[in-house]
Amino acid sequence: MRFAHLARVRERAVVAGAALADLFFPRSCVSCERLLDAGGRDLVCGRCWARVHDLPYPRCDRCGHPLAREHCAWCPLLPPFVRAARSVCWIPGETAGAIVHALKYRGWRGVAEGMATRMARLAWPSDVVSERTALVPVPLAATRERERGYNQSTLLAYALGARWRVPVWPRCVERTRRTSTQTRLTREERRRNVSGAFGVPLDAQSSLRGAHVVLVDDVITTGATLGACAGALFDAGARIISIVTFGRAPAIGDRG
């Protein structure tokens, strides 16, 4: 009885502390900066999440890209051993872009939870759902991870893994050399920039043999970085690789 009483007292203290924190340090949405509801845990308000629109239909069954013509023009960008790819929304986009920016550059790690919730709802081919062995986050360069204090892809992978009940292999693929930022590069320059930039440690290769792993990143643009990671995993013994991201960059001719 005494322990039960102490537990109730502790629980009330936690609730009271949270209420005081909301009173004296009110939280605002990381996207629109409006005040959030007291007691809520999400760092993005419901109004902003409603403005993050899913990729339009119809979509390619393999790569999940919206189809603007009879044949998918995006699938050829992916290596043949990539089984499927899925993304939630277009990036850039005013609200979606602000959410990714808050996670990636402003230190709001908790944003990964809401992003992963929406990534977990994506529909996949049945074989991907039944076969996926582990989630593998795309690695950051060591210097960038030290500067940022975390890898946003790793945060997304763990949040998504908890929802899918799939393990995360955070050091399964690593950068073997530093690359230039991809932001201002063309598609071909991006491909050359990351060519040979990733490898799999020897102690991870035995786990990869015959596995179907899912690469996790915040945004896919041309697919160069994710394709290079997928190639390293495949060369190390992975049987199949799939890809999941929160955002996807549109190409010329894509529907909004």
Q: Tell me the pLDDT tens digit for each residue of 42-74.
A: 899 999 999 999 999 999 999 999 987 778 888
Residue pair 103/155 in contact (Cβ under 8 Å)? The answer is: yes
- pLDDT band of residue 24 (cuts 50, 70, 90) is very low
Instruction: Name the nearest CA neighbour of 44 among 92, 112, 107.
Output: 112
Specify the pLDDT at position 9.
Answer: 46
How many domains are there within the chain? Answer: 2
Q: 210 or 11: which carries more pLDDT confidence?
A: 210
Q: Are 3 and 91 contained in the same domain?
A: no
pLDDT of 20 reads 41
Residue 142 lies in a domain: yes
7-11, 47-51, 54-58, 233-237, range with the lowest pLDDT: 7-11
Position 176 scores a pLDDT of: 80
Predicted local distance difference test score (pLDDT) of residue 23: 43
How many CA within 13 A on the CB side of residue 213? Answer: 32
- pLDDT per position as a tens digit, 61-115: 999 999 877 788 889 889 899 999 999 999 987 899 999 999 999 999 999 999 9
132 and 168 inside one domain: yes
Specify if 49 maps to a domain. Answer: no
Q: Is the pLDDT of residue 221 over 80?
A: yes
Instruction: Please indicate, yes or no, if residue 172 is contained in any of the structural domains.
Output: yes
| Residues 9 and 94 reside in one and the same domain | no
The H or E element that residue 89 is part of is strand 82-90
Say if residue 14's pLDDT is above 50. Answer: no
Residues 24 and 131 in one domain: no
Q: What is the pLDDT of residue 155?
A: 98
Q: Same structural domain for residues 109 and 59?
A: yes
Band of residue 11 on the pLDDT scale cut at 50, 70, 90: low
Coil/strand/helix, residue 218: strand
Same-domain pairing of 200 and 228: yes
Shared domain for 119 and 228, answered yes or no, is yes
Question: Same domain for 37 and 60?
Answer: no
In SS3 terms, 123-153 reads as CCCHHHHHHEEEEEECCCCHHHHHHHCCCHH
Residue 255 lies in a domain: no
Mark whether 18 and 121 lie in a shared domain. Answer: no
On whether residue 256 sits in a domain, the answer given is no
pLDDT at 192 over 70: no
Report d(CA 97, CA 219) in Å as an integer.
Answer: 10
Instruction: Measure the CA–CA gap between 15 and 35, rounded to whole angstroms.
Output: 19
200 & 244 share domain: yes
Q: Is the pLDDT of residue 40 over 80?
A: no
Range of the domain at 220: 55-248
**Could you tell me if residue 46 is inside a domain?**
no
Q: Give the pTM.
A: 0.84
| 204 and 83 assigned to the same domain | yes
**CATH number, domain with residue 189:** 3.40.50
**254 occurs within a structural domain:** no
pLDDT at 183: 60
Q: Looking at the structure, do residues 159 and 236 belong to the same domain, yes or no?
A: yes
| 95 belongs to a structural domain | yes
